[in-house]
Amino acid sequence: MSQSLKDKRALVTGGSRGIGAAIVKRLAAEGANVALTYSSSPYRAAAVVKEAQALGVKCLAIQADSADSGAVVVALERTVTEFGGIDILVNNAGIAVFAPLAEFTLADFDRTVAINVRAVFVATQAALKHMKPGGRIINIGSTNAERMPIAGGAVYAMSKSALQGLVKGLARDLGPLQITINNVQPGPVATEMNPATGEFAESLKKLMALPRYASTDEIAGMVAYLASPEAGFVTGASLTIDGGFSA
């Protein structure tokens, strides 16, 4: 790796598995010290920490449910205390609840908004107190903000669409501070929770220009780019990486 992020200090929410874990390891490979939050997977989080530390950087796991605004702030503050500051915030934690409209509960609606939208705002606001010029804030959105091809996903799509407006607005607030903020919008990605094989996966592949799922490393690569010095003029953007799913 280029070590373009050497000695940078990062926090990745929801970093114990899937896309989040890949982002933690990619930032570590680029030289960043990384903290990650997890909700209920301490052993998975510990394994990611061990892999990152093997790359010669500092890494720690912090238990925090992103639905709890107080826990999000505490995780941010602990990252700053442990590393002496923060340069990169990756708002990756998210949930996806799919159900027919008549069966969608208000509790699931509220939790989706709390984790997918409110936690992003809370973490960004908390990071602003410590982030210096050159800081990077990167949200993991979804191509479903652009296209929701199946029933039952309205609330999830809404939550990811909200990030587009949030980023456009916050880019204006953060620009004078020389801090960038962007969304990465993945399409189908091969994870334990979303396998690249099976009837559902095959139905999605038929909607794509590139008929395959992305790897978590491909998503992490785009995040690493946005965190790097090369992306200093990119802000307020929602960058789709979906194999042509929304084309």
Residues acting as catalytic residues: 156
> What residues form DSSP beta bridges with 38?
63
Tokens of 66: 């992103």
The residue written with tokens 């002496």 in the block is 84
| Integer Rg of the chain from CA | 17
Tokens of 117: 């939208």
For residue 36, the surrounding DSSP H or E stretch is: strand 33-38
Please check whether residue 135 is in contact with residue 179, taking contact to mean a CB–CB distance below 8 angstroms: yes
Please check whether residue 15 is in contact with residue 45, taking contact to mean a CB–CB distance below 8 angstroms: yes
For residue 165, the surrounding DSSP H or E stretch is: helix 154-174
- List the 9-12 sheet strands across, edge first: 59-63, 33-38, 9-12, 88-91, 136-140, 180-186, 238-241
Tokens of 81: 């205390």
The residue written with tokens 């200090």 in the block is 9
